[in-house]
Structure 1
Amino acid sequence: MIFRIATRRDLPAVLALLADEDRVLDPASMPVGEEHERAFAEIESDARNEMLVLTDTGTDTDTEAGGGGTVLGCLQLTYVPGLGQGGQERALVEAVRVRADRRGEGLGAELMRLAAERARGRGCGLIQLTSNKRRTAAHRFYERLGFARSHEGFKLPLERR
């Protein structure tokens, strides 16, 4: 398994993972719109954001060549500066997904372990995430990894103008 920063070439596979967590979708069938291109470019150019993928083959150096291997999982790490925690950054984990046909193999745990290692190496004091209340299997997964339900989350959708 290779854990690396996603490249533009990985975008359809990441979108397929995010589109349906219960089925394996063909990345070639995923429409990649201007909004996706813009968002990926912003993540890619922002030193505080990383879209990371776990692939079955390829090498760490394939990033320059446009990636490599089949994307089996993904997550986004955002590094958030703050005055709490002694001024340490915290890592916000979003969009965690593992291909439906590869669950139960420890890939999700490995993905989260590698993300924690990356955040620790950057000097982060903690990792935080939110998970939809309906994703009870994901909640059990995070708890098995040592995450605690320490806060109640709130979201407010904003209308586009």
Structure 2
Amino acid sequence: MIFRTATREDLPAVLALLADAGEERAEVTEAHERAFAAIETDSRNEMLVLVEGGAVLGCLQLTYVPGLGQGGRDRALVEAVRIRADRRGGGLGAELMRLAVARARERGCGLVQLTSNKQRSEAHRFYERLGFARSHEGFKLRLAD
């Protein structure tokens, strides 16, 4: 099992993971290309993948957010956590999250935060088992469809 930064070649597999959760189509569009290029060239963003035998089994995005809180340390924002459907339940998600937390710790982050859809109760139990606490109520304002 390899944990690494995603490459452009991983983009179709990452989009397929996101589509499996009902978020978007797996087809790579120009918008996806631009977004991936922006992530890839921004030192405060990482798209990370968990790979076995050349197959992408999981992904997540880490964004390092500077702030004055936490003693001026960055915080790591975790987004787009996915494990391939046929490999869920075997500990890969926990391993992926442990690796992401270790990466944030190495960068000197003061905390790791994430949001999860209120209807994903299994995901909430998963994050709590990993030590994440429900500490805030989140709000979103959709600006585009």
Q: Which residue of 1 aligns with 2:12?
A: 12
Q: Which of 40, 44, 53 is equivalent to 1:44?
A: 40
For the residue of structure 1 that corresponds to 2:60, the secondary structure is strand
TM-score, normalised on structure 2?
0.95
TM-score, normalised on structure 1?
0.86
* Matching residue's letter, 2:28: V
Q: Distance in 2 between matches of 1:11 and 1:117?
A: 24
Q: Distance in 2 between matches of 1:105 and 1:156?
A: 35
1:31 to partner: Cα distance:
1.4
Superposed CA offset, 1:4-33 (max 9, x none): 0000000000000000138xxxxxx93110
Instruction: Work out the percentage of aligned pairs sharing the same amino acid.
Output: 79
For the residue of structure 2 that corresponds to 1:128, the secondary structure is strand
Larger radius of gyration, structure 1 or 2?
1
Superposed CA offset, 1:113-137 (max 9, x none): 0000000000001000000111111
Gaps of 5+ in 1: 23-28, 58-68
* C-alpha RMSD of matched pairs (Å): 1.4
Contact 1:21 1:100 in 2 (8 A): no
* Matching residue's letter, 1:71: V
For the residue of structure 1 that corresponds to 2:17, the secondary structure is helix
Q: Deviation above 2 Å: which 4+ runs of structure 1?
A: none
For the residue of structure 2 that corresponds to 1:149, the secondary structure is coil
